[in-house]
Amino acid sequence: MKTINDSMTQDHRRCDEIFVEMEQAIMQHKWQEADRLCQAFINSMEHHFKIEEELLFPALLKATSQANGPVNVMLMEHEQMRHLMSQLVSSLDNMSRSLSAGYVDTLLVTMQQHNMKEESILYPMADNAVPDVSDVIDKAYSESA
Q: Model confidence over 72-123: pLDDT tens digits?
A: 999 999 999 999 999 999 888 887 777 888 899 999 999 999 999 999 999 9
CATH of 4-144, one of 1.20.120.520, 3.40.1580.10, 1.10.760.10, 1.10.3210.10: 1.20.120.520
Q: Which range in 57-61, 65-69, 90-94, 102-106 is most confidently predicted, on average pLDDT?
A: 57-61
Q: Report the mean per-residue pLDDT for the chain.
A: 93
- Taking each continuous run of H as one helix and of E as one strand, the counts in the chain are 7, 0
Single-letter amino acid, residue 134? S
pLDDT at site 87: 92
Q: For residue 3, which phi and psi values (nearest 5 degrees)?
A: -85, 170
Rounded Cα–Cα distance for residues 41 and 124 (Å): 25
Domain segments of the chain: what residues?
4-144
pLDDT at site 145: 62
Q: State pTM to two decimals.
A: 0.93
- Structure confidence at residue 53 as a pLDDT band (50, 70, 90): very high
